[in-house]
Structure 1
Amino acid sequence: MAFRAGELAKSGQEEVEAYLVPRARDATPQVRAHSREALQNIIDELGPVVDAYPSWHPLVAKHDDRHPATTPSKQCGYAGLDHTRYFAHGFVTCPYGDGQQVIDSVNALPRYPHARITAERLDVQFYNPQATPILVKCDWDHALNDDHTVPLALAMPLILEKEVPCWRWSQVAETWETMRPYFLGRPHGARSSLFVSQETGQSIKTIWNAIIHTGMFGPIKI
């Protein structure tokens, strides 16, 4: 089945709106309208709702490369996350309390090549009146494509930086089918996702297949 980015983006937005926009019993129509507007602005700025990130994305890149992460967590250096929803280049988390633990953990993250991770409190009601919405953003130094996908010139070096050093301890080479969620994020199709275009995904697949056939990671795992 073809990867339908538009349909997935729409359904993702509907799901996150149902989750983050307060229910009628918890907020006035004006507050709920403000929440919807704020959510739309976040999507316009950061891209569509996603389920998980590519393991090379700066938002999850701080992890043990033997156990790659695809969602923000303690493994990636975050603290205090709760009631979290993801967008292509940022996420909203809604902990109870003031959310300072989240902000402090983001400020302590290392500087990534070509990107900066920031956190800020939002003046909007999301999830629950007692929660404090925190927006964590990945601000790229290089321009993304108009549809918020990452160009090959940026995605490929980030992939290589994460994967090539693994030759030192790897015993087998993982195929494209195994690595696809880590390279494309979720949701994804055969060669594209909400993070990379079909053309970029095909190039990543071609380069990865060339790399594993060098034997540098060991025999290809069947």
Structure 2
Amino acid sequence: MPDDPRSVAAEVAEDVADLQAQVRALSARFDQFTRADSPDHTSPATPEDEQGGDGAAEEPGEPEWTSPPFIFLLDPPAYDDELCALAEWVEGVLVPGYLAEPSADARWCHLWTEHPVAVARLHALWLAWQELTDPATCGYTGPSTWHRDHYDPCIREIRSPGGPFGGCTKGEHAIIHRQPGLVPSAWSLSIASE
């Protein structure tokens, strides 16, 4: 039986709203990059300006990265600064606003910064939150998109019994987490047996 036309229309309308938000976000980022690249320019660059003096076409303007990259790509002290900012968001917004009391089915570790997988997922969630909660760049559907596409799957993975907090129990935290040790490869096993 074909889908109800009203539900299909609602899905299409939501998809269009998401696409509009993405276009607004990309336009805002483009404006940000062009302003950052040429703060003193009062007129837009012409194609001749972009090609340079020898007439050779250069790669289209790859802007410098101005937003924080993924946390594991940072070196100390930038990593430490980013982790502190992430912790402020997790402890100030995420935990009090979203996370209910931990249970066997919905785990949480108060020492979450010691779980690299949790740090990675929460940082990605935070980056998405920064982008999708600003109506100037993503419209008014951004928070809905953030919940659906980012928050729900991320928290489901983090708080699952098999997630990064699987070895932690309510109120108890073992200093030694359930981290995998070195995984032996076939190469190292063949050397050891010789």
TM-score bracket for the superposition, by shorter chain length: under 0.3
More helix by proportion, 1 or 2? 2
The structure with higher relative contact order (CA 8 Å, sep 6+) is 2
Q: TM-score, normalised on structure 1?
A: 0.23
Answer 1 or 2: which has greater strand percent.
1
TM-score (norm 2): 0.25
